[in-house]
């Protein structure tokens, strides 16, 4: 096979598309293909149109798209999904028998049934050598046990977020970068960690979405702690409302809320 193009392929257990090499130049988005991945042969879906291989700039090796998926490939893929669900139950039974501190959350067969990949979560490292022997005997194929983190677990299991919609990580997010508490501070949110945490126990990914907008809006505002005068009265900025574009002014006499337009009539006091 001579690779002439590369294209993005998505698999059912991942929202992210991975590039594969191909000699099929007329693949269309949504086409089912059989690709050779690190987990064996898999049925995936074309997520980006083929691009000439001359434009591929990455140093990563391209695994091949072997062919368009046939009707038999799709039927076998669907049958493997059913087999994987049964494999999950059996794996849990064997884990309990061996008293291992781990919990399987996903299982996937290679298309030809030669390999079974089981993803699991665990708080610590697990000695699963005996488990591998038992599972290989039960399933008569190569077994890979893959430990995943809490974010990957949430993506695989899915669920409903605080907004009432499906979790972003299982719906469309392809790059789950770490979220800093500084993003919550930048958006002036109450630092109530439980309320700002998602199903994975980490800070919610949607803190990323509006962070740049808040950073841009804050450029129009004075900093908290700055002093302003109105006639003979002096005030300190103690709060900002970026959405209503108002500031909170305080002194010993009381509190005022004024718009940014009104604040222009106040005289800033330079320290």
The span from the CA of 173 to the CA of 92, in Å, is: 29
Claim to verify: residue 119 and residue 96 sit in the same structural domain: yes
Burial 12-50 (b: 16+ CB within 10 A, else e): ebebebbbbbbebeebeeebbbbbbbebbbbbbbbbeeb
Averaged pLDDT, 59-70: 92
- Cβ contacts of 196 within 8 Å, gap of 6 or more: 184, 189, 203, 204, 207
CATH number for the domain that contains residue 79: 3.30.300.20
Give the Cβ contact number of residue 170 at 10 Å.
Answer: 17
Claim to verify: residue 180 and residue 203 sit in the same structural domain: yes
Q: How many CA atoms lie within 13 A of 35 on its CB side?
A: 27
In a domain, residue 161? The reply is: no
Claim to verify: residue 95 and residue 142 sit in the same structural domain: yes
Claim to verify: residue 120 and residue 58 sit in the same structural domain: no
In a domain, residue 10? The reply is: yes
In a domain, residue 158? The reply is: no
In a domain, residue 153? The reply is: no
Q: Is the pLDDT reported for residue 165 higher than 80?
A: yes
CA distance to 17, 120, 127, 135, per residue, from 145 (Å): 22, 7, 11, 10
The region of weakest confidence among 115-124, 160-169, 255-264 is 160-169
What is the tens place of the pLDDT at every residue in 118-160? 999 998 888 999 999 999 999 999 999 999 887 777 777 778 8
CATH number for the domain that contains residue 245: 2.30.30
- Give residue 108's pLDDT band: very low, low, confident or very high (50, 70, 90): very high
Domain of residue 11, residue span: 5-69
- Give residue 8's pLDDT band: very low, low, confident or very high (50, 70, 90): very high
The span from the CA of 223 to the CA of 82, in Å, is: 58
Averaged pLDDT, 184-188: 88
Number of domains in the chain: 4
In a domain, residue 155? The reply is: no
Tell me what pLDDT residue 14 has: 65
Claim to verify: residue 174 and residue 227 sit in the same structural domain: no
Tokens matching residue 249: 């002014």
Tell me what pLDDT residue 99 has: 94
Q: Would you say 17 and 45 are in contact if contact means Cβ atoms under 8 Å apart?
A: no
In a domain, residue 106? The reply is: yes
The span from the CA of 154 to the CA of 161, in Å, is: 11
What is the tens place of the pLDDT at every residue in 233-261? 899 999 999 989 999 999 988 999 999 99
Which helix (H) or strand (E) is 91 found in, with range?
helix 71-97
In a domain, residue 79? The reply is: yes
């Amino acid at each position: 096979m001579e690779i002439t193009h590369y294209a993005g392929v998505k698999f059912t257990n991942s929202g992210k598309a991975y590039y594969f090499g191909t000699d099929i130049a007329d693949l269309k988005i949504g086409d089912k293909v059989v690709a050779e991945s690190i987990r064996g042969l898999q049925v995936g879906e074309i997520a980006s149109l083929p691009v000439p291989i001359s434009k591929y700039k990455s140093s990563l090796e391209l695994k091949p798209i072997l062919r368009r998926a046939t009707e038999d490939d799709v039927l076998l893929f669907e049958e493997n999904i059913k087999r994987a669900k049964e494999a999950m139950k059996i794996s849990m039974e064997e884990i309990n028998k061996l008293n291992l501190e781990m919990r399987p959350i996903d299982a996937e067969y290679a298309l030809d049934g030669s390999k079974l990949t089981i993803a699991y979560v665990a708080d610590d490292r697990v000695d699963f050598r005996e488990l591998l022997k038992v599972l290989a005997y039960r399933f008569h194929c190569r077994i890979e046990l893959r430990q995943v983190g809490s974010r990957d677990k949430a993506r695989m299991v899915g669920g409903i977020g605080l907004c009432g919609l499906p979790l972003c990580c299982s719906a469309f997010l392809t790059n789950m970068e770490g979220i800093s508490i500084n993003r919550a501070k930048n958006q002036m949110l109450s630092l109530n960690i439980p309320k700002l945490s998602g199903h994975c126990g980490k800070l919610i990914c949607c803190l990323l979405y509006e962070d740049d907008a808040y950073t841009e809006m804050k450029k129009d505002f004075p900093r908290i702690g700055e002093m302003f005068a109105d006639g003979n009265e002096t005030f300190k900025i103690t709060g900002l409302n970026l959405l209503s574009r108002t500031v909170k002014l305080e002194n010993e006499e009381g509190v005022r809320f004024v718009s940014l337009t009104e604040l222009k009539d106040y005289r800033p006091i330079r320290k």
